[in-house]
Chain A
């Protein structure tokens, strides 16, 4: 075993007391151990292990050590999990006599790679969960193993992966550690060296070891830093977060606990509530995905195509959700749902009353099972029928379960609607997510201002994950169960709430459809807007030639002198949408659902609710999620 020569100055590197948040009071003897392995290809299907590297932090002694352990690669040796553990204990300064009762947290960045290097990986496999193509444990594993003298050791083991605690844009170790101090950035190797690690070891052992050990060190540092940030964001002291989803739930729940009365969370999220249960089957049918449709096929040239998005789309709609009356908790018996008392019959009139008064001043929680027929010449019918394989289709005639915002827009288009069933949740004064989201967005902006990129990214991730946790498990989605090799359904999260998830996606579909309808209405007045493609929260369209917008006008003044260079660099280069296409913007404000999104953004202090993401003067539209936008200085 070769120990690392350099020591790390923790106080200097982590001046905020990051390590303290990694101490958990009830955990008496804990060893944080970041591991990494180096290997080379044997053939197309198999690797040869060269070495294991580890960086350990003993939470009792505070001793940090890093080292590399070579294996006999000529004999294609692989270490067992037991051998890796003995390596880690030795490195962490734990004598064999003290191993019993230790809690080991095995940390990797993409653990699947290290897992596959284990000789006896089958032994640990049944205890792991697959998440984003890597493996972790949700709960500690009780592990018993023996040494060569047949002495038995009992420990608990957890597997954590830094990769799944990071935003998708920063999931590589290289990008992730670029958010840390420079000294913890990943060391560089050439592509050739990476592909020929064995040659590197032979040619330049020092360089090999520096690179290899450094990866384990920075993985440990990344884990510590991420845990610290998640704890500080959540107001927790020493929680160990495994996934960003669990951090998001905790973050939201702690906000509710601190800002609402006791029992409020259960009143909004418990699936045992009476009214919640009554409407559940209908609302599950209304929960559909985003609107993704292409309206044009092939190439088109024009002076200007804009790709616009609703700003923080999901969060903006979530910010509109008010507390709902989901009833009191039902006492469940063994008979389960059969015992739900036959309560008041759902009133279609109540839905129609809400529909008649819907004016965009607030977002009612209301859905209806509707049979519908749009006029034959309707170009963009907005009601969607869900197909299990192909997603959402918007035919002229059909039957669907839709939200109030969608049905309201359909009626504006002259659609004939027959309501067969409906469900309305009465709402109160309090907003469920608004304060929480505002707090997160403000904190993110502050982190951005302070230059704290990691914290900024984590707040962005927490905000973006909130909707996903609210919709988790509503529709069956399976994953591989490693215990019995079958697929099992993803469960719900503690904040899964189908009424809210349905209103959020439905309202967003309605808002996106409102842009299409606005264009159609403007075209009837003589404009020539052409929608190209809609993708969940945004739309690519040809700007009306009568809007008289020249290409450079869509850019901020400072970027207009060299349009091509500005577009190539990208970033925040575009002007305000309301100024670039004022005709469409003004028209959009006629739609209540658009005004709702505007008001949500305004309540957070932002004027813009639509932003320009791209501008081009030629498009090739292939199909949904297949667009190429080009710019050429004609």
Chain B
């Protein structure tokens, strides 16, 4: 439904936000901010508290204080987000805590919105104990190399470490990296789904002389995080 002025909003639960305006205005504000790409803030007024008045702070009376509050409109992950906006229960409380920790980390440390896709991506990595070192490209290359040297289908035998290092020289790959890539078990779908990562993978595959008539879809399906949402994420 279009969020327009002809619409009325008989039902409004504000997740604790204190927004200015009548019910319809408040509903429209929240509805719009649900689709923010970044975390937005708003000014909230409140009266000073007894504790503040009696403490050593500069506030010495009942005064109206204006505070900047973040819009908190990301899902709470009490259930597992699935495609189409639907959810399913967590298997265990530990699963919930993993989702929640990722969500908190995105919001508070990275200061970005904890979208269902991002939370799913990072929790999946956390579940498989996959840590990120270096840049996004370094991370992507590391997982390609693991799949390559461990010959995970559709990767096949492409030669010795030296031969591979020569083919992948333009990506900064050396023999030591290839040897290390054999030591850690490969995990599927832990590479962040971005244009640059997809292009990087395709260029590496071309350098390795792989050919494809569907733009290397099988390799991307193996490596790239698939995401869960289709049209319901906050980033539409």
Q: Which residues of A contact B (CB under 8 A)?
A: 39, 41, 44-47, 112-113, 115-117, 121-122, 125, 130, 133, 135, 293-301, 307, 374, 378-381, 385, 387, 390, 393-398, 480, 535, 540, 564, 567-568, 570, 614-633
8 Å CB contacts to A: which residues of B19-37? 27, 30-31, 34
Choose the segment among B8-16, B129-137, B151-159 that binds chain A (4+ C-beta atoms closer than 8 Å): B8-16
Choose the segment among B54-62, B164-172, B178-186, B207-215 that binds chain A (4+ C-beta atoms closer than 8 Å): B54-62
Cβ of B1 and Cβ of A45 under 8 Å apart? Answer: no
Cβ of B16 and Cβ of A393 under 8 Å apart? Answer: no
For A398, list chain B residues within 8 Å (CB): 92-93
Closest residue on chain B to residue A130 by CB atoms: B50
Cβ of A535 and Cβ of B13 under 8 Å apart? Answer: yes
Cβ of A390 and Cβ of B100 under 8 Å apart? Answer: yes
Closest residue on chain B to residue A535 by CB atoms: B13
Cβ of A296 and Cβ of B85 under 8 Å apart? Answer: yes
Cβ of B73 and Cβ of A614 under 8 Å apart? Answer: no
With known contacts A300-B85, A622-B15, A623-B15, A630–B60 Cβ distance under 8 A: no
For A480, list chain B residues within 8 Å (CB): 50-51
Give A370 Cβ to nearest chain B Cβ, in Å.
15
Give B42 Cβ to nearest chain A Cβ, in Å.
15
Cβ of B2 and Cβ of A632 under 8 Å apart? Answer: yes
For A121, list chain B residues within 8 Å (CB): 54
8 Å CB contacts to A: which residues of B209-224? none
A sample of 11 inter-chain contacts (CB < 8 A) reads A44-B63, A45-B60, A294-B75, A298-B85, A299-B1, A300-B85, A387-B97, A622-B30, A624-B78, A628-B12, A630-B1
Asked if B138 lies at the interface with its beta carbon under 8 angstroms from chain A, I say: no
* Seed contacts A116-B62, A395-B90; 14 additional CB < 8 Å A-B pairs: A39-B61, A45-B60, A46-B61, A112-B53, A112-B62, A298-B233, A387-B96, A397-B91, A624-B78, A625-B14, A626-B73, A627-B11, A628-B9, A632-B6
Cβ of B87 and Cβ of A294 under 8 Å apart? Answer: yes
The 5 closest A-B pairs by CB, nearest first: A629-B11, A626-B15, A298-B232, A618-B1, A298-B85
Give A45 Cβ to nearest chain B Cβ, in Å.
5
Q: Which residues of B contact A (CB under 8 A)?
A: 1-4, 6-16, 27, 30-31, 34, 47, 49-51, 53-54, 58-63, 73-76, 78-79, 81, 85-93, 95-97, 100, 116, 231-234
A301 to B1, CA, bound (A): 6
Cβ of A41 and Cβ of B63 under 8 Å apart? Answer: yes
With known contacts A296-B85, A380-B89, A398-B92, A620–B116 Cβ distance under 8 A: no
Choose among A113, A300, A390 the residue with the greatest number of B CB atoms under 10 Å from its CB: A390
For A618, list chain B residues within 8 Å (CB): 1, 7
For B89, list chain A residues within 8 Å (CB): 374, 378-381, 394-396
Selected from B27, B73, B90, the residue in CB contact (under 8 A) with A396 is B90
Cβ of B79 and Cβ of A295 under 8 Å apart? Answer: yes
Interface of A is mostly: strand
Selected from A45, A116, A133, A616, the residue in CB contact (under 8 A) with B58 is A45
For B9, list chain A residues within 8 Å (CB): 616, 628-631
Give B216 Cβ to nearest chain A Cβ, in Å.
31
A624 to B2, CA, bound (A): 23
For B95, list chain A residues within 8 Å (CB): 395
Cβ of B92 and Cβ of A395 under 8 Å apart? Answer: yes
With known contacts A135-B50, A379-B88, A629-B12, A622–B1 Cβ distance under 8 A: no
For B27, list chain A residues within 8 Å (CB): 628, 630
A627 to B12, CA, bound (A): 6
Closest residue on chain B to residue A613 by CB atoms: B11
A435 to B105, CA, bound (A): 52
A94 to B142, CA, bound (A): 88
A540 to B11, CA, bound (A): 10
A380 to B213, CA, bound (A): 44
For B87, list chain A residues within 8 Å (CB): 294-297
A627 to B88, CA, bound (A): 19
Cβ of A627 and Cβ of B13 under 8 Å apart? Answer: yes
A568 to B20, CA, bound (A): 19
For B61, list chain A residues within 8 Å (CB): 39, 45-47, 116-117
For A297, list chain B residues within 8 Å (CB): 75, 81, 85, 87, 116, 232
Cβ of B63 and Cβ of A393 under 8 Å apart? Answer: no
Cβ of B85 and Cβ of A567 under 8 Å apart? Answer: no
With known contacts A45-B61, A116-B61, A622-B73, A615–B10 Cβ distance under 8 A: yes
For B88, list chain A residues within 8 Å (CB): 379
Give B236 Cβ to nearest chain A Cβ, in Å.
8
Cβ of A395 and Cβ of B96 under 8 Å apart? Answer: yes
For B116, list chain A residues within 8 Å (CB): 297
Closest residue on chain A to residue B27 by CB atoms: A628
Closest residue on chain B to residue A380 by CB atoms: B89
Give A110 Cβ to nearest chain B Cβ, in Å.
9
A301 to B7, CA, bound (A): 13
Give A194 Cβ to nearest chain B Cβ, in Å.
12
Selected from B1, B60, B93, B231, the residue in CB contact (under 8 A) with A632 is B1
For A47, list chain B residues within 8 Å (CB): 61-63
Give B70 Cβ to nearest chain A Cβ, in Å.
14
Give B134 Cβ to nearest chain A Cβ, in Å.
33
Cβ of A620 and Cβ of B96 under 8 Å apart? Answer: no
Cβ of B10 and Cβ of A568 under 8 Å apart? Answer: yes
Cβ of B92 and Cβ of A112 under 8 Å apart? Answer: no
Give A106 Cβ to nearest chain B Cβ, in Å.
16
Choose among A294, A394, A620, A630 the residue with the greatest number of B CB atoms under 10 Å from its CB: A630
A121 to B55, CA, bound (A): 13
With known contacts A626-B14, A628-B27, A395–B7 Cβ distance under 8 A: no
With known contacts A125-B54, A623-B15, A628–B63 Cβ distance under 8 A: no
Cβ of B15 and Cβ of A625 under 8 Å apart? Answer: yes
Cβ of A629 and Cβ of B75 under 8 Å apart? Answer: no
A46 to B54, CA, bound (A): 13
For A307, list chain B residues within 8 Å (CB): 11
For B100, list chain A residues within 8 Å (CB): 390
Closest residue on chain B to residue A622 by CB atoms: B73
Give A125 Cβ to nearest chain B Cβ, in Å.
6
With known contacts A297-B116, A378-B89, A396-B89, A631–B10 Cβ distance under 8 A: yes
Give A182 Cβ to nearest chain B Cβ, in Å.
27
Give B140 Cβ to nearest chain A Cβ, in Å.
28
For B76, list chain A residues within 8 Å (CB): 294, 390, 623-624
Cβ of A393 and Cβ of B74 under 8 Å apart? Answer: no
Give B233 Cβ to nearest chain A Cβ, in Å.
8
Closest residue on chain B to residue A617 by CB atoms: B1
For A395, list chain B residues within 8 Å (CB): 89-93, 95-96
For B79, list chain A residues within 8 Å (CB): 293-295
Give A292 Cβ to nearest chain B Cβ, in Å.
8
A298 to B103, CA, bound (A): 17
For B51, list chain A residues within 8 Å (CB): 480
For A629, list chain B residues within 8 Å (CB): 9-12
For A616, list chain B residues within 8 Å (CB): 9-11
Choose among A378, A396, A623 the residue with the greatest number of B CB atoms under 10 Å from its CB: A623
